[in-house]
Amino acid sequence: MTIYNFSAGPAVLPKAVLEKAQSELLDYKGSGMSVMELSHRSSWFEDIIKDAENLLRELMAIPDNYKVLFLQGGASLQFTMVPLNLAQGKKALYVSTGSWAKKAISAAKALDNVEVEVIAACENDNFNYIPELPKEVDPSAAYVHITTNNTIEGTAFQTIPDYGDVPIVADMSSNILANDYKVEDFGVIYAGAQKNIGPAGLTVVIIREDLIGDAKIAAPMLDYKIQADNNSLYNTPPTFAIYMAKLVFEWVKEQGGVAGITKKDQEKAGRLYDAIDNSDMFQSPVAKDARSITNIPFVTGDADLDKKFNAEALAAGFENLKGHRSVGGMRASLYNAFPAEGVEALVDFMAKFEQENGGK
């Protein structure tokens, strides 16, 4: 049976990447060692991390005045590192568009000398749309934090706000490399790797150099300046995850870069949204103008029927389709590596299920 993995993360990886890793697993480039066994100070690993950075720079057209950091601690640690480094003694502005945004807000609020203000929110409507943002914000604020794609709720920012000198900080965990964003529109971009970049354990941070600053940070590991000055090698980085990210970046390049991938992602998502919109049984709980192309929740409106669908889908090889526990229903995460055939198979399965369960 073919298994299609709709997980929101850790998520499906390109098969070609897994095969390449397998072929190099025991002997990396004649070294007689696995990448997992290489010193992070070896020239082999130095090449891997440099290649990974250069590929990401090329894919995202990252300008020279931005640093690329390969860190650990997940996107969740960035919820703390961002305000700790950028907003001490200042005001930090947040847009609350989902569960992860709320966690980012709580982490910033936990810091003593950061003043947190939520400038727009949509929790009253279960976060099912992207709220309108104020035209202007306090020019003395350290940043405006947004979550470009809300993994759990299935919404995404379609345009990136511009507040002049107040930089936009983005949690891009679930749509990095899936949208043709311009890095210049952001001061900081961060993402946990385990959706569109590689295995869990790696966090990518792209930060404009002038924002690195020299705030006094008691914990060196949490200090962007120390991490940047040491080219992400202040301590032992997640070497194997960085190697896998490099292979994924090579794969993205082969797919026509971010533009090529985005087109395919849009087609995959469009196919599923069409099936949902044309069905009498399934609905999308998300406002049409806020739909994510990477995380697509859908429901029948009947919790028992959702449960039945999930059980039958799982038995048919559709893994991890069950919606997040806070939303219920179903959620298809269609990241870059998710194959178009998997979407076709799901759409066929949905039509069959609808027919068999009293639908059209």
Ligand X SMILES: Cc1ncc(COP(=O)(O)O)c(C=O)c1O
Backbone angles phi, psi at 166, to 5 degrees: -85, 115
Place of tokens 């080219």: 231
Annotation-wise, does 278 bind a ligand?
Answer: no
Minimum distance between the CB of residue 174 and ligand X, rounded to whole angstroms? Answer: 4
Residue 238, interface with ligand X (CB under 6 A)?
Answer: no
Q: Is 153 in the site for ligand X (CB under 6 A)?
A: no
Q: Which of 9, 83, 187, 297 binds ligand X (CB under 6 A)?
A: 9
Give the residue, chosen from 14, 192, 198, 342, that forms a contact with ligand X under the rule CB under 6 A: 192
- Any binding-site annotation on 236? yes
- The answer to the question of residue 74 lying near ligand X (CB under 6 A) is yes
Distance CA(268)–CA(346), nearest Å, equals 11
Q: Is 292 annotated as a binding residue?
A: no
Q: Does 251 bind ligand X (CB under 6 A)?
A: no
Coil, helix or strand at residue 81: helix
Helix boundaries (H) for 65-158: 74-86, 99-109
Binding residue (CB under 6 A) for ligand X from 151, 179, 262, 333: 151
Question: Which residue(s) pair with 191 in the sheet?
Answer: 204
- Which backbone phi and psi does 188 adopt, to 5 degrees? -140, 140
Tell me how far apart the alpha carbons of residues 97 and 263 are, in angstroms, rounded to a whole number: 25
Please confirm, yes or no, whether 171 is among the known catalytic residues: yes
How far, in whole angstroms, is CA 186 from its chain's centroid?
A: 15
Q: Which of 96, 128, 173, 196 binds ligand X (CB under 6 A)?
A: 173
Closer by beta carbon to ligand X, 153 or else 223: 153
Tokens describing residue 209: 């150099």
Q: Which two tokens stand for residue 287?
A: 């406002």
Q: Are 108 and 83 spatial neighbours (Cβ–Cβ below 8 Å)?
A: yes
Maximum Cα interatomic distance, the chain, rounded to a whole number of Å = 64
Closest to ligand X by CB, 171 vs 354, is 171
Q: Does 100 bind ligand X (CB under 6 A)?
A: yes
Nearer to ligand X (CB atom), residue 171 or residue 265:
171
174 near ligand X (CB under 6 A): yes
Q: Is 171 annotated as a binding residue?
A: yes
Report how far Cα 13 is from the mean position of its chain's Cα atoms.
Answer: 14
Binding site for ligand X (CB under 6 A): 9, 74-76, 100, 147, 151, 171, 173-174, 192
What are the binding residues for L-glutamate? Answer: 41
Catalytic sites, residue numbers: 100, 171, 195
What are the binding residues for pyridoxal 5'-phosphate? Answer: 75-76, 100, 151, 171, 194, 235-236
